[in-house]
């Protein structure tokens, strides 16, 4: 009873002992022992006869009435008289804390018990009992007034939760569909209420489907008034210190209460480009961009107009600086703001044509954007959005207008038109459930920022999501699926996916970078990073080391070559995030699909098969050696290793080793402190390297398999080709056989072998890789949870068996199916 002591107690007064005890049992189903309930029922020996007894009622009141008071519920006629008489028999102080209520004994007892268990006051519990027939009457069309109004009138404190706004307080919202065939019936509602009170947060529920509520999550009557049936979407919102915890726990509770879903065909969806993993579901809103029209006017004083442009550039730099602070993209934007191709061109146009600054800068931006748009390389093509982002910021600084804004309202799925990086950076995860970009792609800077912020997203959805949009949307950012106005079945399926993701999410600090298989063998989780903020996120996520630092990503937008010091500075910032941990730094992997503007590369008919990766570095020795010196200098005090991309021959590796020696000697000659010696490994991403791995091991200290390029070259299917998606699948047995060849070469030559292509973070392929003997997987940190889950519970022997099967099938789909089949129960 101790937990019940501080709560309002209940006394059930009935002519029938059986009725009272059955009512108590019903109430206890909801609240367990949280509330003190006493029955004073029946007359005669052991209460066996029908009747009521004032003395027994008085004793019952004294038993359950603590400092919070007691509520007495009665059945008919004489029960009321007996209860009134009992109040005269007891200590007046106790009588003063006792309320007799005319609420119905059965419904009233259940509702009052739940409210009392949730810590309701004497007034609130009494009101709850009194209103207990309202939902029933509502459902039967007999109600005289709507329940929410009743709740608001009788339960001011709880109703305040409804009105609570997030004025500064943390807030969290989730939408979920009711999967229970009985809807949000009394038992799950009662559990929800008793759990909700444990949180320091004001919590409300709203039936979005039926447009009822919001009501506070503290009253059974209020929740019943939502009339939530199976498939209805509930919006659960919390405001206060523990808002996020509350929403997560209550959503999980509602999901747990749902009976297991019958296996059903997945609901029909449309496919966009997957950009950032996660599942979102909610109302759809458009991101409204307010770029002022840019008029062309003539100016009298071109020098003054050029000065206006310079001031606007400064203002835009400040604006973008605050939006993009802490991101890896800020530098690139700042560089564009002083890029002579934009600024000099605009100023000379002002002088030449005596036109206004906004017009001149817009012309320069449009010309630069057109150049990016025409590039073959999808990565660089995606930079067009960055150019517009910078252009818009400058035009806003000149002509006024705010950055893109979300309309006020509950958290939503945001529909954007070619989301820019600064727009992505301004999206607050608590207000944005997910993003559907009608244009864009997976390599845009906006996409990178969304992934870092953990906002589920898809791109390239113009054909699927009409301009006008719809009322609600669902998306799965891992698969690219999009649903407009999802039906109840789809909503339930999406909620199931969200619950599965929530259940698998590890709290910060929960990972030590190792996954232990059932047999005790360990698989290491390393991170692929592309900049300082990536590195910090990966370290926090528990990565054991950096398995792949893509150095070409650091200077993607640069039109001028970054100096050695600048390179060393940026590298040092990244290395600092992984101090004490191993760091694999890849030399510039430019060319192919990553044509850095400052390299001024020749056009090639087949850039993926052209002068790229190590081939390009060896063709530009000064560039390579400057980079190697920067790596060695920044690597002082760190456990760095150098990785050579796109190796196809042993001669290439020896040439890089020689360049590394020269870099070391040059630094030593000037007395510059640096890391030496460093291990040197090779990327295995060309079939010749996989097949010759044992020979290459003479030159290489370790192997890192780049499944992205290895798949492209093995299947002759361009990576990222929109129509060759299914063919360019690293689960293809041909790719897996090459992985096995490298693992065997690694064993034979005692060289560690890891995988750093996307396959390492693909939960459908990673188990096959581990089954082939890979024990080090390097991936984007956001893939850790999914990969851990995919490996959970399996032993190496299990995985080796399915990997063997996968090597012996005809295609990637069949290979993936071996793993999927092994995970299915039974």
Contacts of 621 (CB under 8 A, 6+ apart): 659
> If binding is defined by CB under 5 A, does position 685 make contact with Mg ion?
yes
Kindly state the smallest distance separating residue 681's Cβ from ligand PEP, in Å: 13
Kindly state the smallest distance separating residue 779's Cβ from ligand PEP, in Å: 10
Give the residue with the Cβ less far from ligand PEP, 42 or 757: 757
Give the residue with the Cβ less far from ligand PEP, 756 or 803: 756
Q: Which does 756 bind (CB under 5 to 8 A by kind): Mg ion, ligand PEP, none?
A: ligand PEP
> If binding is defined by CB under 6 A, does position 172 make contact with ligand PEP?
no
Please state, in angstroms and rounded to a whole number, the distance separating the CA atoms of residues 516 and 513. Answer: 10
Residue with the CB atom nearest Mg ion in the bound state: 709
Give the residue with the Cβ less far from Mg ion, 597 or 706: 706
Give the residue with the Cβ less far from ligand PEP, 475 or 774: 774
Contact residue for ligand PEP among 106, 117, 222, 756 (CB under 6 A): 756
> If binding is defined by CB under 6 A, does position 138 make contact with ligand PEP?
no
Task: Decide: helix, strand or coil at residue 714.
Answer: helix
Site residue total, ligand PEP (CB under 6 A): 10
Q: How far is CA 570 from the centre of its chain?
A: 27
> If binding is defined by CB under 6 A, does position 709 make contact with ligand PEP?
yes
> If binding is defined by CB under 5 A, does position 706 make contact with Mg ion?
yes
Give the residue with the Cβ less far from Mg ion, 685 or 805: 685
Task: Decide: helix, strand or coil at residue 199.
Answer: coil
- Which region, judged by CB under 6 A, interacts with ligand PEP, from 282-290, 312-320, 629-637, 704-712? 704-712
> If binding is defined by CB under 6 A, does position 437 make contact with ligand PEP?
no
Q: Please give the helix or strand (H or E) that residue 586 lies within, else none.
A: strand 582-586
Q: Which does 757 bind (CB under 5 to 8 A by kind): Mg ion, ligand PEP, none?
A: ligand PEP
Contact between 75 and 50 under an 8 Å Cβ cutoff? The reply is no
- Which region, judged by CB under 5 A, interacts with Mg ion, from 306-314, 423-431, 704-712, 792-800? 704-712
Give the residue with the Cβ less far from Mg ion, 12 or 717: 717
> If binding is defined by CB under 6 A, does position 589 make contact with ligand PEP?
yes
Contact residue for ligand PEP among 472, 550, 558, 816 (CB under 6 A): 550
Q: Which does 395 bind (CB under 5 to 8 A by kind): Mg ion, ligand PEP, none?
A: none
- Which region, judged by CB under 6 A, interacts with ligand PEP, from 180-188, 205-213, 390-398, 706-714? 706-714
3-state secondary structure labels for all residues of 452-479: HHCCCEEECCCCCCCCCCCCEEEEECCC
Please state, in angstroms and rounded to a whole number, the distance separating the CA atoms of residues 674 and 696. Answer: 27
Which residue in 445, 664, 674, 732 is the catalytic one?
445
- Which region, judged by CB under 6 A, interacts with ligand PEP, from 72-80, 358-366, 385-393, 700-708? 700-708
Kindly state the smallest distance separating residue 462's Cβ from ligand PEP, in Å: 26
Fill in the DSSP letter of residue 583: E
Q: Which residues of 677-752 form beta strands (DSSP E)?
A: 679-684, 703-705
> If binding is defined by CB under 6 A, does position 423 make contact with ligand PEP?
no
Q: Checking DSSP bridges between strand 432-437 and strand 37-41, what pairing results, if any?
A: unpaired
Task: Decide: helix, strand or coil at residue 312.
Answer: helix
> If binding is defined by CB under 6 A, does position 706 make contact with ligand PEP?
yes
- Which region, judged by CB under 5 A, interacts with Mg ion, from 3-11, 175-183, 594-602, 678-686? 678-686
Residue 247 token pair: 């929403």
In total, the chain counts a number of residues equal to 826
> If binding is defined by CB under 6 A, does position 591 make contact with ligand PEP?
no
Please state, in angstroms and rounded to a whole number, the distance separating the CA atoms of residues 742 and 138. Answer: 70
Within 244-283, the residues that bind ligand PEP by CB under 6 A are none
Within 707-766, the residues that bind Mg ion by CB under 5 A are 709
Residue 241 token pair: 């210190």
- Which region, judged by CB under 5 A, interacts with Mg ion, from 172-180, 380-388, 700-708, 774-782? 700-708
Exposure string (b/e) for 392-420, b if CB count within 10 Å is 16 or more? bbbbbbbbeeebbebeeebbbbbbbbbbb
Contact between 258 and 237 under an 8 Å Cβ cutoff? The reply is no
Q: Which residues of 171-310 form beta strands (DSSP E)?
A: 171-177, 202-207, 212-216, 233-239, 270-271, 273-276, 279-286
Q: Which does 333 bind (CB under 5 to 8 A by kind): ligand PEP, Mg ion, none?
A: none
480's torsion region: left (phi>0), alpha (psi -120 to 50) or beta? Answer: left
Please state, in angstroms and rounded to a whole number, the distance separating the CA atoms of residues 97 and 791. Answer: 59
Residue 15 is among the residues annotated as catalytic for this protein: no
Contact between 628 and 620 under an 8 Å Cβ cutoff? The reply is no
**Alpha carbon distances (Å) from 739 to 573, 615, 819:** 33, 23, 17
Please state, in angstroms and rounded to a whole number, the distance separating the CA atoms of residues 589 and 24. Answer: 72
Closest CA to 644 of 691, 680, 608: 680
Contact residue for ligand PEP among 53, 128, 685, 785 (CB under 6 A): 685
Cis peptide leading into 677, omega within 30 of 0?
yes
Q: Which does 254 bind (CB under 5 to 8 A by kind): Mg ion, ligand PEP, none?
A: none
Kindly state the smallest distance separating residue 566's Cβ from ligand PEP, in Å: 22
Which residue in 638, 756, 780, 819 is the catalytic one?
756
Give the residue with the Cβ less far from Mg ion, 356 or 778: 778
Closest CA to 602 of 594, 611, 593: 611
> If binding is defined by CB under 6 A, does position 443 make contact with ligand PEP?
no
Within 176-205, the residues that bind ligand PEP by CB under 6 A are none
Contact between 263 and 211 under an 8 Å Cβ cutoff? The reply is no
Give the residue with the Cβ less far from ligand PEP, 53 or 589: 589
Give the residue with the Cβ less far from ligand PEP, 113 or 780: 780
Give the residue with the Cβ less far from Mg ion, 534 or 785: 534
Cis peptide leading into 195, omega within 30 of 0?
no
> If binding is defined by CB under 6 A, does position 218 make contact with ligand PEP?
no
Dihedral angle at the C-alpha atoms of 364, 366, 369, 371, nearest 10 degrees?
-80
Q: What are the φ and ψ backbone dihedral angles of 120, each rounded to 5 degrees?
A: -65, 150
> If binding is defined by CB under 6 A, does position 612 make contact with ligand PEP?
no
- Which region, judged by CB under 6 A, interacts with ligand PEP, from 85-93, 208-216, 338-346, 707-715? 707-715
Contacts of 91 (CB under 8 A, 6+ apart): 62
Q: Which does 377 bind (CB under 5 to 8 A by kind): Mg ion, ligand PEP, none?
A: none
Q: Say if residue 308 is exposed, middle or buried (CB neighbours under 10 Å; 0-12, 13-18, 19+).
A: middle
Residue 674 is among the residues annotated as catalytic for this protein: no
Closest CA to 23 of 33, 38, 3: 38
Give the residue with the Cβ less far from ligand PEP, 552 or 785: 552
> If binding is defined by CB under 6 A, does position 708 make contact with ligand PEP?
yes
Give the residue with the Cβ less far from ligand PEP, 316 or 529: 529
Q: Which does 445 bind (CB under 5 to 8 A by kind): Mg ion, ligand PEP, none?
A: none
Report the first-to-last Cα separation within the chain, whole angstroms.
45
Q: How far is CA 616 from the centre of its chain?
A: 37
> If binding is defined by CB under 6 A, does position 707 make contact with ligand PEP?
yes
Catalytic positions are 445, 756
- Binding footprint of Mg ion on the chain (CB under 5 A): 685, 706, 709
- Binding footprint of ligand PEP on the chain (CB under 6 A): 548, 550, 589, 685, 706-709, 756-757
């Amino acid at each position: 009873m101790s937990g019940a002591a501080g709560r309002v107690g209940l006394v059930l007064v009935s002519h029938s002992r059986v009725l009272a005890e059955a009512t108590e049992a019903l109430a206890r189903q909801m609240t367990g022992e949280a509330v003190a309930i006493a029955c004073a029922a029946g007359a005669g020996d052991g209460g066996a006869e029908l009747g009521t007894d004032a003395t027994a009622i008085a004793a019952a009141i004294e038993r359950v009435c603590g400092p919070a008071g007691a509520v007495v519920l009665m059945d008919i006629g004489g029960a009321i008289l007996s209860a009134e008489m009992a109040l005269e028999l007891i200590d007046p102080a106790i009588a003063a804390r006792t309320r007799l209520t005319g609420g119905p004994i059965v419904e009233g007892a259940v509702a009052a018990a739940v409210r009392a268990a949730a810590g309701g006051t004497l007034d609130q519990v009494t009101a709850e009992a009194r209103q207990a027939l309202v939902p029933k009457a509502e459902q039967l069309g007999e109600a005289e007034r709507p329940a929410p109004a009743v709740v608001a009138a009788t339960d001011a404190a709880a109703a305040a939760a409804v009105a609570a706004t997030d004025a500064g307080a943390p807030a969290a919202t989730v939408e979920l569909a009711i999967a229970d065939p009985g809807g949000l019936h009394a038992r799950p509602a009662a559990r929800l209420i008793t759990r909700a009170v444990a949180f320091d947060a004001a919590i409300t529920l709203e039936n979005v489907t039926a447009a009822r509520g919001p009501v506070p999550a503290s009253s059974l009557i209020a929740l019943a008034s939502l009339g939530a049936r199976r498939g209805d979407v509930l919006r659960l919102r919390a405001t206060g210190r523990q808002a996020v915890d509350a929403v997560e726990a209550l959503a999980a509770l509602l999901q747990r209460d749902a009976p297991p879903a019958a296996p059903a065909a997945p609901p029909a969806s449309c496919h966009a480009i997957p950009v950032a993993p996660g599942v979102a579901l909610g109302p759809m809103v458009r991101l409204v961009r307010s770029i002022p029209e840019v008029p062309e006017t003539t100016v009298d004083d071109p020098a003054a107009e050029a000065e206006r442009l310079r001031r606007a550039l400064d203002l835009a730099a400040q604006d973008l600086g605050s939006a993009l602070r802490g991101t890896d993209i800020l530098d690139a934007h700042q560089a564009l703001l002083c890029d002579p191709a934009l600024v000099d061109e605009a100023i000379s146009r002002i002088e030449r044509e005596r036109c206004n600054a906004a017009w001149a800068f817009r012309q320069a931006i449009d010309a630069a954007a057109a150049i990016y748009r025409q590039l073959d390389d999808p990565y660089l093509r995606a930079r067009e959005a960055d150019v517009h982002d910078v252009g818009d910021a400058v035009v806003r600084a000149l002509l006024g207008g705010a950055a893109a804004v979300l309309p006020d309202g509950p958290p939503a799925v945001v529909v954007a038109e070619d989301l820019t990086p600064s727009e992505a950076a301004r999206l607050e995860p608590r207000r944005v459930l997910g993003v559907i970009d009608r244009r864009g792609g997976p390599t845009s800077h906006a996409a990178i920022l969304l992934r870092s912020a953990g906002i589920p997203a898809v791109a390239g959805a113009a054909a699927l999501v009409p301009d006008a949009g719809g009322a609600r949307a669902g998306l799965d950012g891992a698969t690219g699926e999009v649903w407009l106005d999802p039906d109840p079945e789809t909503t339930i399926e999406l909620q199931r996916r969200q619950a599965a993701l929530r259940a698998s999410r590890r709290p910060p600090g929960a990972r030590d970078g190792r996954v232990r298989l059932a047999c005790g063998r360990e698989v290491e989780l390393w991170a692929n990073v592309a900049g300082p903020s990536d590195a910090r996120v990966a370290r926090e996520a528990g990565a054991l080391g950096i398995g792949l630092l893509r150095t070409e990503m650091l200077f993607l937008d640069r039109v001028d070559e970054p100096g050695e010091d600048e390179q060393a500075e940026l590298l040092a910032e990244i290395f600092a995030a992984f101090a004490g941990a191993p760091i694999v730094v890849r030399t510039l992997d430019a060319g192919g699909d990553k044509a850095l503007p400052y390299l001024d590369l020749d056009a090639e008919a087949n850039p993926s098969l052209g002068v790229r990766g190590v081939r390009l570095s060896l063709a530009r020795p000064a560039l390579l050696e400057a980079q190697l010196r920067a790596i060695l200098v920044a690597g002082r005090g760190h456990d760095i290793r150098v990785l050579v991309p796109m190796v196809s021959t042993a001669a290439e590796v020896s040439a890089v080793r020689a360049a590394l020696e020269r870099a070391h000697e040059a630094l030593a000659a000037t007395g510059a402190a640096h890391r030496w010696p460093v291990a040197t490994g090779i990327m295995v991403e060309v079939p010749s390297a996989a097949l010759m791995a044992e020979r290459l091991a003479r030159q290489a200290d370790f192997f890192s398999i780049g499944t992205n390029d290895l798949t492209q070259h093995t299947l002759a299917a361009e990576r990222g080709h929109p129509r060759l998606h299914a063919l360019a699948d690293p689960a293809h047995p041909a790719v897996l056989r090459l992985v096995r060849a490298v693992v065997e070469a690694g064993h034979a030559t005692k060289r560690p072998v890891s995988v750093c292509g996307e396959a390492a973070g693909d939960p459908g392929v990673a188990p096959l890789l581990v089954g082939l003997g890979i024990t080090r997987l390097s991936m984007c940190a956001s893939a850790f949870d999914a990969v851990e889950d995919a490996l959970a519970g399996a032993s190496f022997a299990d995985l080796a068996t399915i990997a063997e099967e996968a090597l012996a099938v005809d295609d990637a789909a069949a290979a993936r199916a071996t793993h999927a089949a092994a995970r299915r129960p039974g």
